[in-house]
Amino acid sequence: MKILAIAGSNSDTSINKQLVTYATTLFENAEIEIVDMNDFEMPIYKHQREVESGVPQQAIDFASKIDNADVLLVSLSEHNGTYSTAFKNVFDWTSRIKQRAVWNEKPMLLMATAPGGRGGLGVLEAAEKRFPLHGGNIVGTFTLPFFNDNFDKEAQKISNEEKDSELREKVSKISAVETILEK
């Protein structure tokens, strides 16, 4: 199984990247690739720019990574209740590639974390509504509130047993979906 882990943040210390990286460790016998949004920096989407220059190669490369994956783990950082600008720009450009849906119907575990009590719930709600319109096959969602209290940065894992168990259950579910699809 090939897993593409995407942290929807361009922060060098992204807590969502820490969460999605931890989630990858819960899969057995999987080939893992963790995407860094900084590798997909491109001009801010503008229709005129698209007409004049076409879709940037970085967006095509991002789409190719999705196409080559069996499962997507996407952990979104929340900026003012929705996606980070870095993620949204990659999403926007990728949506402009002709004859493809952004997520290409790949089974997806959608996640978010934040330092506060909602744990990125606003961005999860936005993504749950939007992603299916762009080929998102959301198998499950997970939020980790109070990141600094519930994640052991030294051990790089969730320290809250209840939340860790919940994530493990979601990983098990998406693994089962992928196993069914392989048959």
- Cα separation of 7 and 84, whole Å? 10
Per the structure block, which two tokens stand in for 147? 């990141």
List, for residues 32-44, the tens digit of each pLDDT value.
999 999 999 999 9
User: φ and ψ at 96, to 5 degrees?
Assistant: -90, -5
- pLDDT value of position 183: 52
Entry pTM: 0.94
Is pLDDT at 178 greater than 70 in this prediction? Answer: no
- Cα separation of 58 and 56, whole Å? 5
Is the distance from CB of 67 to CB of 30 less than 8 angstroms?
no
- Cα separation of 91 and 95, whole Å? 6
- pLDDT value of position 112: 98
Confidence of residue 176 (pLDDT cuts 50, 70, 90): confident
- pLDDT value of position 180: 62
Is the CA virtual torsion 146, 10, 91, 28 positive or negative?
A: negative
- Cα separation of 112 and 155, whole Å? 19
Is the distance from CB of 9 to CB of 17 less than 8 angstroms?
yes
Q: Which position has the higher pLDDT, 182 or 93?
A: 93
List, for residues 9-62, the tens digit of each pLDDT value.
999 999 999 999 999 999 999 999 999 999 999 999 999 999 999 999 999 999
- Cα separation of 37 and 40, whole Å? 5
Is the distance from CB of 83 to CB of 120 less than 8 angstroms?
no
User: φ and ψ at 29, to 5 degrees?
Assistant: 50, 45
